[in-house]
């Protein structure tokens, strides 16, 4: 199926991805990983929950860790342009037959909880508490020096359907991988904020969260993180990279948190704000699409992901086998 033409006038205006809440089984171990190793800043915490932000973020949080019996994800959150767009979003999802609810979320104004076409929990809000800037408080920088949350990537059982659904609410495709034999999409990168992606989809058992990515200033921060993790007991948590992606042209590293939630450290993709930007097509058989330098991704990267609380993932229809390391 070809990718759809960009929807430049969607029914409501999503600005960007915003935050995610992970269920974690050992809150202290997770906090140590995200604060001491990755370098996120604690903005609030109690015995059950830790709120975190990255260095250039003014909103209260981009990641919430919640003590849980199971390692899961409680929904992906997006910021809309203003309160009126939130009401438009509510009415659009209700009219399309999706479940809608106004939910209470700490540090946020009105929050709409709904589901996408696969039952993946997604939330929209406009107002979040604003915090003083810390991007020039250089004494606070630690770990990989994360600047901001960059994107979510989700396993999807039908990437064509995911792209069609998110295109209807304004996500524009920047790059995609096609399975030549079936003509179906294997993966797609879609954005609202003007980078390569806010939300990407990869073929597989889904819906599940494949990873959450954080933007860092330079590739050297990523290499420093590898050195830090390799010598502080986290060598087994380095999953893939460092390397240069073909798709997105970003420098990358994938690491696993103590529960196996996958985090990508990401830097230097390109600007995509032009409304007539042409999406870049990659062939599934081209190993450089994943890593420009040719190194294959490990099998775990195609198989492991985080489940959404209360959502049972389904097998993908497309069974093409990508090139993988044993
Ligand atoms: C790719 C994956 C990402 C990303 C950009 C490009 C390509 C790949 O490795 O499949 O997670 O952010």
Residue identified by tokens 């209260």 is 60
Residue ranges lining ligand 1, Cβ < 6 Å: 153, 213, 245, 247-248, 250, 264, 266, 290, 297
Question: What average pLDDT score do residues 159-166 get?
Answer: 98
Choose the residue to mutate in 152, 200, 249, 323 for probing ligand 1, maximizing ligand atoms within 8 Å of C-beta.
200
Assembly ipTM: 0.94
Instruction: Assess whether pLDDT exceeds 90 at residue 271.
Output: yes
Taking the C-alpha atoms of residue 256 and residue 63, their distance in angstroms, rounded to an integer, is 15
Residue identifier of the C-alpha nearest atom 8 of ligand 1: 290
Residue whose C-alpha is closest to residue 106's, from 89, 94, 123: 123
Give the Cα separation of 28 and 71 in Å (integer).
Answer: 14
> Mutate which of 159, 187, 245, 272 to test ligand 1's pocket (most atoms within 8 Å of Cβ)?
245
Q: What is the pLDDT of residues 280-318, one digit of tens each?
A: 999 999 999 999 999 999 999 999 999 999 999 999 988
Banded pLDDT at 2 (limits 50, 70, 90): confident
Q: What is the pLDDT of residues 202-247, one digit of tens each?
A: 999 999 999 999 999 999 999 999 999 999 999 999 999 999 999 9
pTM of the complete model beyond 0.90: yes
Cα separation, 139 vs 146, whole angstroms: 14
For the chain, give me the number of helices (H) and strands (E)?
A: 5, 20
User: Strand (E) positions, the chain?
Assistant: 14-24, 41-45, 49-53, 63-67, 72-80, 101-103, 111-115, 121-125, 148-156, 172-179, 184-191, 199-203, 208-215, 238-244, 251-256, 262-267, 280-283, 297-298, 306-308, 324-325
How many angstroms is it from 164 CA to the middle of ligand 1?
Answer: 20
pLDDT at position 320 over 80: no
The predicted-structure confidence for 102-142, as pLDDT tens digits, reads as follows 999 999 999 999 999 999 999 999 999 999 999 999 999 99
Cβ(185)–Cβ(282) below 8 Å: no
Q: Mutation test of ligand 1: which of 290, 300, 324 has the most ligand atoms closer than 8 Å to its C-beta?
A: 290
Task: Decide if pLDDT at 321 tops 80.
Answer: no
Task: Supply the mean pLDDT for the chain.
Answer: 97
Q: Which two tokens stand for residue 288?
A: 């450089």
Q: Could you tell me the distance, in angstroms and rounded to a whole number, from the CA of residue 70 to the centre of ligand 1?
A: 27
The whole-angstrom distance between residue 124's C-alpha and the CA centroid of its chain comes to 15
> Positive or negative CA dihedral for 77, 82, 86, 92?
negative
For the segment 149-155, the average pLDDT, to the nearest whole number, is 98
- Terminal C-alpha separation, the chain: 31
How many Å lie between the centroid of ligand 1 and the Cα of residue 27?
29
Q: Using the CB atoms, write b or e for 227-260: b if 16+ within 10 Å.
A: ebbeeeebeebbbbbbbbbbbbebbbbbbbbbbe
* In the predicted structure, residue 200 carries a pLDDT above the cut 90: yes
CA of 182 to the centre of ligand 1 (A): 22
The CA-CA-CA angle for residues 115, 167, 176, to 5°, reads 110
In angstroms, what is the span from residue 106 Cα to ligand 1's centroid? 32
Has residue 319 got a pLDDT over 90? no
């Amino acid at each position: 199926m070809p990718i759809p033409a960009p929807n430049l006038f969607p029914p409501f205006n999503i600005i960007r991805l915003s935050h995610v809440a992970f269920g974690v089984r050992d809150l202290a171990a997770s906090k140590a990983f995200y604060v001491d190793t990755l370098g996120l800043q604690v903005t609030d915490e109690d015995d059950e929950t830790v709120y975190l932000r990255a260095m250039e973020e003014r909103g209260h949080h981009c990641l919430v860790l919640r003590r849980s019996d199971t390692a899961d994800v409680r929904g992906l959150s997006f910021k809309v342009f203003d309160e009126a767009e939130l009401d438009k979003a509510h009415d659009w999802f209700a009219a399309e037959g999706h479940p809608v609810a106004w939910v209470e979320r700490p540090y946020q104004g009105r929050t709409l909880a709904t589901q996408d076409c696969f039952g993946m929990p997604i939330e929209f809000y406009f107002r979040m508490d604003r915090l003083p800037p810390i991007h020039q408080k250089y004494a606070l920088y630690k770990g990989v020096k994360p600047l901001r949350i960059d994107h979510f990537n989700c396993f999807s059982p039908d990437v064509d359907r995911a792209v069609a659904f998110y295109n209807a609410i304004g996500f524009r495709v920047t790059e995609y991988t096609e399975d030549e034999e079936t003509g179906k999409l294997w993966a797609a990168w879609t954005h609202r904020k003007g980078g390569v992606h806010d939300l990407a989809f990869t073929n597989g058992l889904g819906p599940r969260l494949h990873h959450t990515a954080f933007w860092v200033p330079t590739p050297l921060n990523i290499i420093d993180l590898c050195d830090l993790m390799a010598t502080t007991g986290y060598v087994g948590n380095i999953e893939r990279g460092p390397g240069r992606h073909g798709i997105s042209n970003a420098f990358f590293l994938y690491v696993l948190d103590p529960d196996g939630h996958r985090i990508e450290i990401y830097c230097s993709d390109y600007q995509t704000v032009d409304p007539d930007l042409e999406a870049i097509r990659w062939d599934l058989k081209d190993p450089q699409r994943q890593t420009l330098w040719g190194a294959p991704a490990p099998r775990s990267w195609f198989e492991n992901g985080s489940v959404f609380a209360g959502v049972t993932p389904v097998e993908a229809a497309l069974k093409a086998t990508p090139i993988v390391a044993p």
